[in-house]
Amino acid sequence: MTTTANILIVDDDSRGRETLEALLTGLGHNLHFSDSGFAALKQASVLPPDLILLDVNMPGIDGFEVCRRLRADPILTDVPVVMTTALDDKASRIEGIEAGADDFITKPIDRLEIRARVNTIIRLNRYRKLMKQQADLLQAHRELQEAYEATLKGWVYGLDLRDCETADHSRRVTLLTVELARLMGMPETELINVRRSALLHDIGKIAVPDHILHKPGPLTEAEWVIMRKHPQTAHDMLAPIEYLRSALDIPFCHHERWDGTGYPRRLKGEQIPLVARIFAVIDVFDALSSDRPYRKAWPHEKIIEYMREQSGKHFDPKAVELFLQMMAGESQPSTTQA
């Protein structure tokens, strides 16, 4: 089925316009007419047309000049132009090509030829426009994704500034979480949500008061009650945001434990989302590897011993095993920036 198009027929000779009208009637296109180059440029700017059938020999400005002006107009530059001419010499065709014409039809015009060429050019032009629209949509999507990512990084940076003891912690654990998720067989298409989820793991701490968040020593039980609310805060904060709903697992579940003694929902074993189980291993490893106001970083050997001891208690045993292999160099983590 042919798509209806606006065709502008430009010819100073009424007989030429009438001939093309007769030849093209029945194709289902909207036919428009101009009797001079100046009138054609004005009418084209109003339509704009999907195709221009342009006579070469016209008073005032000829078809070559009209074509050059069309190509110089940012709105009309891509409109297909087919020149209709009684001239059949090589020099005229070269001049037309240099002016920007897409095709030539020599008079007298054959009915089957003009109809076939018109439909083909319109179809190709529609396809070109569709491809451009798709490219524009893809570019807009990329720009939107970049804006989303910048927003996420801004949130995380603000939290890191507030929670000084974990500065750069978010970037480190995100890198390792994405790599371990890949090694555990998660498809590449899911890793963007793994990355976002890891970056936002502690976003719920935005609601934790400073005197608790910055306390240099152990928290009281009452303070722990408040601290343990941060996964639920993260859920309540992120769930209404559609593009982050697939990134909720780590912020909401990274304090769950394999043996069911974690929080906020006391999930157990494989009830805990895989990505949260992966992250829990890396989060604890990074925390124990870093100095905190209330303790020094643990020696590497002590951390490894603790991770093995907590396998099957705090941690998913498979995640611990593969993580330790990765850190021992059997599987090398990527250095790609988070």
- List beta partners, residue 82: 53, 103
Task: Examine the pLDDT at 4 and tell me if it is beyond 80.
Answer: yes
Structural domain harbouring 284: 163-328
In a domain, 319, yes or no: yes
Q: Which residue is listed with tokens 């060429």? A: 117
Question: Which residue is it, tokens 């070109």?
Answer: 128
Q: Structurally, how many domains does the chain consist of?
A: 2
CA gap 78, 254 in Å, rounded: 54
Give tens-digit pLDDT for 56-87.
989 999 999 999 999 999 999 999 999 988 77
* Type of residue found at 335: T
Neighbours of 127 (CB within 10 A): 10
Share of the chain above pLDDT 70, in %: 91
Mean pLDDT of 29-55: 94
In a domain, 336, yes or no: no
Q: Is residue 208 in some structural domain?
A: yes
Region 151-163 average pLDDT:
68
CA distance 228 to 263: 7
CATH code of the domain covering residue 259: 1.10.3210.10
Distance between CA 198 and CA 170 in Å, rounded? 7
Element of type H or E holding 10? strand 6-10
Residue 66 sits in the same domain as residue 202: no
In terms of residues, how long is the chain?
338
Please give the single-letter amino acid code of residue 134: Q
Whether the Cβ atoms of residue 115 and residue 93 lie closer than 8 Å to each other: no
**What is the pLDDT at residue 336?**
42
Residues 130, 168, single domain; the answer is no
Residues 175 and 295 in one domain: yes
What is the reported pLDDT for 337? 42
pLDDT tens by residue, 79-93: 999 998 877 778 888
Domain end: 87, 115, 134, which one?
Answer: 134
Inside any domain, residue 172: yes
Q: What is the pLDDT of residues 263-283, one digit of tens each?
A: 999 999 999 999 999 999 999
Q: Is residue 240 part of a domain?
A: yes
pLDDT digits (tens, 9 = 90+) for 175-187: 999 999 999 889 9
Asked if 98 and 27 sit in the same domain, the reply is yes
Burial level of 90, CB count in 10 A (0-12/13-18/19+)? Answer: exposed
Residues 106 and 234 in one domain: no
Tokens 């500065």 found at? 167
Domain finish residue from 134, 154, 184: 134
Q: Report yes or no on 270 lying in a domain.
A: yes
Residues 172, 103 within the same domain: no
Residues 14 and 82 in one domain: yes
| pTM of this structure | 0.59
Mean pLDDT value of segment 132-137: 81
Assign residue 24 the CATH number of its domain. 3.40.50.2300
Q: CA end-to-end span of the chain, whole Å?
A: 49
Query: Residues 336, 175: contact at Cβ < 8 Å?
Result: yes
Q: Is residue 214 part of a domain?
A: yes
For residue 250, give every residue at least 6 positions away whose Cβ sits within 8 Å of its Cβ, in sequence order, or none.
Answer: 177, 194, 197, 198, 200, 201, 273, 275, 276, 279
Burial 227-263 (b: 16+ CB within 10 A, else e): bebbbbbbeebbeeeeebeebbbbbbbbbbbbeeebb
Do residues 253 and 105 both lie within one domain?
A: no
Say whether both 88 and 235 belong to one domain. Answer: no
pLDDT for res 138: 81
Does residue 333 register a pLDDT over 50?
A: no
Q: Does one domain contain both 102 and 180?
A: no
pLDDT at 162: 62
Give the DSSP H or E segment for 85: strand 81-85
**Are 115 and 22 part of one and the same domain?**
yes
User: Letter for the amino acid at 68?
Assistant: R
- Residues 290, 237 within the same domain: yes
- Which secondary-structure segment (H or E) carries 53? strand 51-55
142 falls within a domain:
no
